[in-house]
Amino acid sequence: MRLLCRLRAAAAAATTLLAVTAQAEPFGPEVQRWDGCEGAAVYFIEARELPMVDVRVILDAGSARDGGTPGLAGLTARTLDQGAGDMDAGELARRLEDVGARLSTSAGRHQAEVHLRSLSESAALDASTELLEQVLGAPSFDDAAVERERRRMQQALRAERQSASSIALRSLYAAMYGDHPYATPPSGTEAGLYSLDAARVAAFHAEHYVAANASVAIVGDLDREEAEALAARLLDAMEAGEPAPSLPAPPSEPKETEVRIDFPSSQTALMMGLPVIARGEEDLEYPLRVANHVLGGGGLVSRLYQSMREERGLSYASSSSLNIMPLRGPWLIRSTVEAGRGEEALEVLRGEVERLARDGLDSEEIDAAVRHLTGAFPLSVANNSALAGQLSVLAANRLPADHLARYIPRMEAVDEQAIRRALDERLDLARMVTVLVGPDVEDADVEMDPP
């Protein structure tokens, strides 16, 4: 097979970073996985070329855990590094910077993540690890810091209301997921943020930032033994705790299928989406990845790019993305077009989705897409940042160590029937939500411009 030959050649040319794994056939970086304490999974890739280490601690502590107070997970993540142990935010920052380290925190819809990047020299790595231990296990959450971050989030939320696309995305998730926790916006809501304080944040941390609810991804200039010691230090820094309880299954029906919001912008934001795929549903995942690439994931060669931009000059950016989450995540289609051309654009977008659902893909398109996706795989594991990103997906979903190595064979196995089956099973137009935000959206009888 030509493709594998090429990949083998690429693997041979590469250094230890891209060793072919034991099972000869698959291609990918050598991922090591072990169980840390309290059932926390640890993933590690040894990368010796640069004197640096990336450590990511992933917690099941995203906005899906906000409960009745949207913004809680986000506020906890933001305040985590605003002081720890006997250090205030400034002192913590100074100590990190003195050893050339960087620390960042974030909370998404499902996971929260704490990311340390450090020089690998042992004194520097030891010092930065010690600071990360304090951040994970003994954050201060003092009233003033929590209040300051809460107000910053409130302001960011006000700024979000300036953007038609932000409003559309928020509305889309609300319509797709209804009462399900995935509907909760990671940036919070006004009411949610209003009710938060240091006690709530500290309680959220105590419950969710625990070893049993964590996994760790490490990439860089250290060996297995050092990586094990590093992971153990971080897990030890947290309370043992319990894993977060399972979330309910996402609803099978959307709350509503069309949302139109009047908004004074020069462009109308259009979004469509429906929950289609959960992590682990690999029989469907790879066919849907191929379908998404052809529809709107493939940049300049996608159908949406062709029909919206090349053929009609309707839009600068039209794309689709497959958001694979631990529970069923959405297929999203998005575009922005000149106000007044919203209906025309919607017709084109809907037409493309209908065509995909009805006709699937032809074999030529499948070949080109599979060739691209397998050929592009090395790009997604070519440097430490990319590897750390991949490992954090593995860690968040506790995937097997050979997950990356199976990517290419799984992608190559995708055929017309698999795509047909995946589309039939998941691309249900009747359940697809459409959102329009712009100045023209209330008037459905808008006159269409000639293309």
Partner 1 sequence: MAPLRLLTTLLLFALASAAAADRVHHHELDNGLTVLVQEDHRGGVVASMLWYHVGSGHEHRPITGISHAVEHMMFKGTEVRETGEFARLIAREGGQTNAFTARDFTGYFQLLAADRLELAMELEAERMHRLVFDSEEFQREMQVIHEERRQRVDDPPEARAFERFTATAHMASPYRHPIIGWQKDLDRLRLEELEAWYQRWYVPGNATLVVVGSVEPERVFELAERHFGAVPAGEVEPPPEGREIATAPGERRIEVRFEDARVPLLFLGYNVPSLATAAEPGDAYALLLAAELLDGGRSARLPEELVRGQGLATSASAGYSPVARLDTLFSLVARPSEGHDLDELESALREQVGRLRDDPVEDSELERAITRLLAAEVYAQDAPMGRAQRLGRLASTGIGWEEAQRFEERVRAVTPEDIQRVARTYLEPERLTVGRLLPGEEE
List the interface residues with partner 1, window 163-192 (CB under 8 A): 163-164
Out of 35, 86, 143, 159, point to the residue binding partner 1 (CB under 8 A): 159
233 touching partner 1, by CB under 8 A: no
Q: In angstroms, rounded to a whole number, what is the distance separating the alpha carbons of residues 8 and 344?
A: 47
Q: Interface with partner 1 by CB under 8 A: which range of 56-64, 228-236, 293-301, 422-430?
A: 293-301
Q: Which one of residues 138, 212, 382, 393 is an interface residue with partner 1 (CB under 8 A)?
A: 382
Residues with Cβ within 8 Å of 358's Cβ and at least 6 positions away in sequence, in order, are: none
Residue count at the site for partner 1 (CB under 8 A)? 85
68-87 positions binding partner 1, by CB under 8 A: 81-82
With CB under 8 A as the contact rule, the residue among 40, 378, 399, 419 that binds partner 1 is 378
Q: Which of 353, 373, 396, 433 binds partner 1 (CB under 8 A)?
A: 373
Residue 62 and residue 209 in contact, taking contact as beta carbons nearer than 8 Å: no
Stretch that binds partner 1, among 97-105, 178-186, 271-279, 397-405 (CB under 8 A): 97-105
Mapping DSSP to helix (H, G, I), strand (E, B) and coil, where does residue 209 land? coil
CB 67 within 8 A of CB 180: no
Q: Which helix (H) or strand (E) holds 260?
A: strand 258-262
- Which of 162, 282, 351, 358 binds partner 1 (CB under 8 A)? It is 162
Quick note: the x/- pattern for partner 1 over 38-57, rule CB under 8 A, is ---------x-xxxx-----
Which own/partner pairs from 86-90 qualify as long-range (CB within 8 Å, at least 24 positions apart)?
87/134, 87/140, 88/140, 88/142, 89/145
- Which candidate, 153, 155, 141, 143, places its Cα nearest to that of 81? 141
Q: Return the SS3 of 54.
A: strand
Considering only residues 305 to 324 of the shown chain, the ones binding partner 1 according to CB under 8 A are 306, 309-317
- Smallest distance from the beta carbon of 340 to partner 1, in angstroms? 11
Q: How would you label 362-381 residue by residue, b for 16+ Cβ within 10 Å and e otherwise? A: eeebbebbbebbbeebbeeb
Closest CA to 109 of 182, 175, 166: 182
> Does the protein bind partner 1 through residue 362 (CB under 8 A)?
no
Looking only at residues 113 through 152 of this chain, which bind partner 1 when binding is defined by CB under 8 A? 117, 119-121, 123-124, 127, 145, 148, 151-152
Is 20 a binding residue for partner 1 by CB under 8 A? The answer is no
**Out of 99, 138, 261, 357, which residue is the one contacting partner 1 (CB under 8 A)?**
99
Give every strand in the sheet of 329-338, ordered side by side.
Answer: 258-262, 433-438, 267-277, 329-338, 315-322
Pick 154 or 257: Cβ nearer partner 1: 154
